[in-house]
Structure 1
Amino acid sequence: MKGLEEIYLKGFSLDKYFGIASADELEKLEELYKNIVISDEFVNRIKGINKKVPVLASVETWCPYARVFLTTMRKINEINHIFDLSLITYGRGVSELAGYLKIHEDDFVVPTAVFLGEDFSKLRVFNGFPERYHNDSTLDTIDGTRNYLKGKFANDILEDVLSIF
């Protein structure tokens, strides 16, 4: 089994992610980018962070949940580059990351992101969507899921990923 640092170092960038996306996927990413608005409260919070955190994320361009997650991360980094993203495919996530995180192959989803300490220890795992959604029924309705995938619940992602600071 490979350590998180080794997997992280073999990942690819957000720019490469955009480079492998289809025209339709890029259009959806652009629409999300326009829809996600970060409140002044979160902007100030993000600006006040003075450290960088490596993030290893298993993603796919076809996955709408991954697109919402990555677009939110992109917006955060445009305010203050606090996350160093290293991306891997779903296949590498299942074969290399799932075992390390003790996630059964059948339960592994994209995006699965690991927020890492300076020594590449696991600080937090983002598994599909914000943690609170694992315990409530927010995404159990068609409207809830549609709104999430349109970027309308980005504040919940922000709250979740910024909790490591």
Structure 2
Amino acid sequence: MQALADVISSGLRVLFCGINPGLMSAATGHHFARPGNRFWPALHLSGFTPRQLRPDEQAELLTYRLGITNVVDRPSARADELTRAEYVAGGANLVQKVLHYQPEWLAVVGVTAYRDAFGERTAHIGKQDRLIGDTRVWVLPNPSGLNAHYTLPKLADAFAELERVS
């Protein structure tokens, strides 16, 4: 299975960064493609997009100055299949990508992934102290359906907080 292509360009308001592609995303070529994933509904309900986009409409994000990448390129069924070394290498790669494209915000979806990729053991949901060049960093809850702690309304509220400051 091959890596999932980024939806990215210069001039982005927010570059969303998933943990890694799920198997369905890798098979379809679309980010957050699994039906139980709440990324697309949360993106719309928070005000980032005027309607709920489907995964196959991901390129439309660029018209809203939004993009998507991943910390780790390797697809897997579950994020817990990834190694610490993959997270660290992915974090270094992500820094280079952010320095190249210079989005206003990098939004990592998954606090554990952010902690592992950047060695920030005490990171929390929300705005981070870290800057990557001039890019500010925000951590969002993981939108996976496996993250039962965050209901869709709670997830949309977390996304809306970033939408208000971006």
Q: Normalising by structure 1, report the TM-score.
A: 0.34
Choose 1 or 2 for highest CA Rg: 1
Q: Which has the higher helix share?
A: 1
